[in-house]
Structure 1
Amino acid sequence: MAETVELGVALLAHLEDGELSLKEAIDRVETVTTDPAVTRRILDTAEMRGVIEREDGVIRPQRGQFVSFEADVVSREGEFSCRRCGTTITTGYFMVFDAGEHGPFGSSCIRKVTGRE
């Protein structure tokens, strides 16, 4: 579970959104885990570390460590299911963080998860 929490915190640290609703933040975290207790631990840990600020149901990322699609995302060919939407994809995009690799995502979902869309 500790690895899952670290991966979720890394994801929140790399969001490009200026702010998100709690629902939108949970939608992103659910690409890491769907366990509500782990989701809460990810959000609490991210807040304690100063990665996010939470107030009145609004999440504000604080780090500004955006995902570089050239350096932090790798693509692989194969048969995958997108971690966000579940669609079958043949090109999977994976974010590479110090805490681990997160994916696969389809081309539009990778942009949605990182906050580029």
Structure 2
Amino acid sequence: MSETRDPVELGVELLAHLEHGELSVADALDRIETVTTNPQVQREILDTAVMRGLIERENGVVRPRSQGSYVNFDSDVVVREGEFSCQRCGAAISTGHFVQFDGGELGPFGSTCIRKVLGRE
């Protein structure tokens, strides 16, 4: 994982790749928390995604504007063996799933949490 990754860019990219037609702001924040738990940075991620036209945010609902740009498990997710802690739930895992974004790498996640973060469950 790169130490120079920009949490705002990673969070914006995560929101740009949402697979749901809409999410509650709470569910969007659940995903953003995998990037940062800092409320100011979370707000900046949401505001930046809206400003760039990647999502619409209205009445507590987030709607992605770029349908079809989902994360591809075959090409955008790298699996590594090792000793990791899941970035979403904190569990100890031996197989880490890392999402490759232009802004950096997001992870590690366990096999269940990667699906939840990407909206596959």
Give how far 1:3 is off.
Answer: 1.0
- Give the aligned partner of residue 19 of structure 2: 16
Q: Taking structure 2 as the reference length, what is the TM-score of the superposition? A: 0.94
Aligned residues: 117
Letter in 1 for 2:97: Y
**1:36-67 Cα deviation digits (max 9, x unpaired):** 00000000000000111001000011113100
Unaligned 5+ residue runs, structure 1? none
Q: Paired residue for 2:56, among 43, 53, 58? A: 53
Match of 2:83 in 1: 79
Cα root mean square deviation, aligned? 1.2
Runs of 4+ in 1 over 6 A off after TM superposition: none
Of 83, 91, 100, the match for 1:96: 100
Shift in Å, 1:18: 1.1
In structure 2, C-alpha distance between the alignment counterparts of 1:31 and 1:12, rounded to whole Å: 12
Over residues 68-115 of structure 1, what are the superposed CA-to-partner deviations in whole Å (9 max), with x where a residue is unaligned? 000000000001011111111000000001111000000011010011
2-structure distance, mates of 1:15, 1:83 = 18
Contact between 2:5 and 2:104, CA under 8 Å: does it hold in 1?
Answer: no
Identity over the aligned pairs, expressed in percent?
A: 67
Shift of residue 2 of structure 1?
7.9
Q: What is the aligned partner in structure 2 of residue 39 from structure 1?
A: 42
